[in-house]
Amino acid sequence: MTPLDHAGARELVERAQAVIDAALRELARRGGVDANQSLAYDVAHAASAIATARSCLSYAAHGEVEANLVAAFLALALSDLATRVLGREALWAAPPDWYEPFAHFVTTYRDPGFVATLAESPGPRHLGDDFDMVSATFHRFALEQVRPHAEHVHRANSDIPESIIEGLSELGGFGLSIPEQFGGFASGGESEYLGMVVATEELSWGGLGIGGSLITRPEIMTRALLHGGTLEQKQRWLPRLANGEVLAAIAVTEPDFGSDVAGINTTATKSDGGWLVNGTKTWCTFAARAEVLVLLARTDPDRASAHRGLSLFLVEKPRGDSHGFVFDQAHGGRLEGRPIDTLGYRGMHSYELSFVDWLVDDANLVGEENGLGRGFYYQMAGFENGRIQTAARAVGVMQAAYEAALDYASSRVVFGSPILEYELTRVKLGTMAAIIQCARQFSLDVARLMGAGGGAMEASMAKAYVCRAAEWVTREAMQIHGGMGYAEEYPVSRYFVDARVLSIFEGADETLCLKVIARRLLGDVTS
C-alpha cells in the first residue's frame, strides 16, 4: 500500500473545500438556505465531514497506523461528497471534471484490501499524560460502576443507581467545567474543555443513559451561569453543582417548539417576590431526580420580541418519583411531571412538565435584572457546550459498539472460520475504526478551540457529523452479531437504539445543519 502523501492529502482537503465553497455561492445565488433546503443540508454535512478530515491531518503525522486511519477516513469523506454531488452538479455549480483530482486517492484508500487491514487497528489517542490519566480514571469507573448496571436499567427502564451518581461526584465528574474558584477543576486555557470531552467519551462507553449523559445537564447549567449569572448566583450554585449536591435538568423544548426556541410559549410573569411560571415543557430529561430546572420562559408578552423576550430561570424543586410527580406550593402553584417512554436512552427518563403559577424567586432569574431578555443567549452558551459533549457521547457509544463487534467477530465461527477472517467483516470494522478515531480527534480539536474562546461553529459540525456516523457504526456492529445482535443477550442492540437519539437532541440534525451550519458557512463565503 502506498504511504499517505501528507501534503497531497492536505491539498485534497482544500480542493474539497473549494467544491463546497462553490456550492455555497450557488446556494446564495439561488436564494439562500430556506429556498434550497436539500442543497443546504447536503453542503452542511459534506462540510462537516471535510472539517473532520482536516482536523485529523496532524494526527496522521504520528505514525503509519494513524496515517492509514486518516487516509481511509478522507477517502470516505470524499466519496460521500461525490455521492451528494452526483446528479446535482448544477446545484453544486460543479464542473464536469470536478471529481478528477480525487479519483486516484479514493480508489487507493477505499480499496477493500486496504480498509480490511484496519479492522484491528483502532489507533492510539495521543491525549498526553494528563488526559491519559483522566481517560483511565473514567474508563475504570465506567467499567466497574456503570457497565454492571447499564443493561438492567435499559431493559427494565429503571432509574440510575444512586451509587453511580455518588461515585461520579466523588470523582469530580460534575465539576469538570466549573472554575477552581467555585469548587470545580477548570483552570481556563486550551485544556478547559478537554477533560469534559475525554470523561464524557469514557462514561458513554460504559452506558449512554446512565453514564455519559449524567454530566451533560450540569455542564449546560454551568456554562449558562458563567456566561450570564451574577457573582452571587455563581457562588450559590456552582459549588453545589461541582460536588453533586444539586443535579440539574434543562426545560427548554415545548410541544410545539423544539429547535425553534424563539417561539416558545411558556411565560414568566412578575409577581410579588418573584415570577409566576405557566406553560408546558417537554423532553425534559432527568426532571424527576433533578433539584433544579434550567427553564427558558417568555418574560416579554410582546411575541414580536421573539428570542429577545426570553429569560432564563433556575427553578428549584424537590426530587420526584420517576414514574411521575406532582408538587404543590403553599400559594397554589403546581408543577406536574409525566414520563415519556422511549425506545432507548433509558435511566434518566424524559418528562412533559406542566407549570401552573409556579413561583420562582427573583434571585433565580439568571443575571437578575440584567438578565431580562438575555435568556436565549445564556441558554445558547450552554448548548454550545452540550453539542461538543454530545459528539463525545457519540464517540463513546461507537467505541463500545466497535469493541463488541470485534470481540464477537473473533469468536463467532461460520462455515468453519471466525467471521473476523471474512473480508466484508474486516472492511466494516476497518471503516468503523477510521470513523471513530477521526471523530474523536475532531472532538478533541474542537474542545481546544472552545478553550481558546472559539469553536462554536465547529462544535455544531462535530455533532452533525459524529451523531449520524454513530447510527451507521452501531447498526453495522449489530449486523456483525447477526441474529444475536437483534436479541437482548448482547448489549450491541442497546448501543444501536441509544445512538439513534444522538442526532435528535441538543439540536436536531436538520435544524442544526440548516439554521446553524449552512447559514454560518454561507455568511463566511459571501461576506
Query: How far is residue 282's CA from residue 264's CA, in Å, rounded to a whole number?
Result: 11
User: 438: closest CA among 503, 394, 499, 403?
Assistant: 394
Point out the catalytic residue in the list 66, 201, 352, 506.
506
Query: How far is residue 334's CA from residue 327's CA, in Å, rounded to a whole number?
Result: 6
Give kind and range of the element (H or E) at residue 456: helix 456-480
At 117, list the grid cell: 487491514
Q: From the CB of residue 330, how many other CB atoms can be counted at a distance below 10 Å?
A: 6
Do 57 and 442 form a contact (C-beta atoms < 8 A)? no
* DSSP code at position 335: E
The CA-based diameter of the chain, rounded to the nearest angstrom, is 78
Do 288 and 322 form a contact (C-beta atoms < 8 A)? yes
Query: How far is residue 244's CA from residue 222's CA, in Å, rounded to a whole number?
Result: 13
Q: Would you call 66 a catalytic residue per the annotation? A: no
3-class DSSP assignment, residue 521: helix
Q: How far is CA 81 from CA 102, 220, 315, in A?
A: 10, 33, 46
Cell numbers 478547559: residue:
192
User: 383: closest CA among 292, 297, 296?
Assistant: 296
3-class DSSP assignment, residue 186: strand
DSSP per-residue codes, 203-230: HHHH-IIIIITTTHHHHHHHHHHHHH--
| Cα 248 versus chain centre, distance | 18
Residues marked active site are found at 506
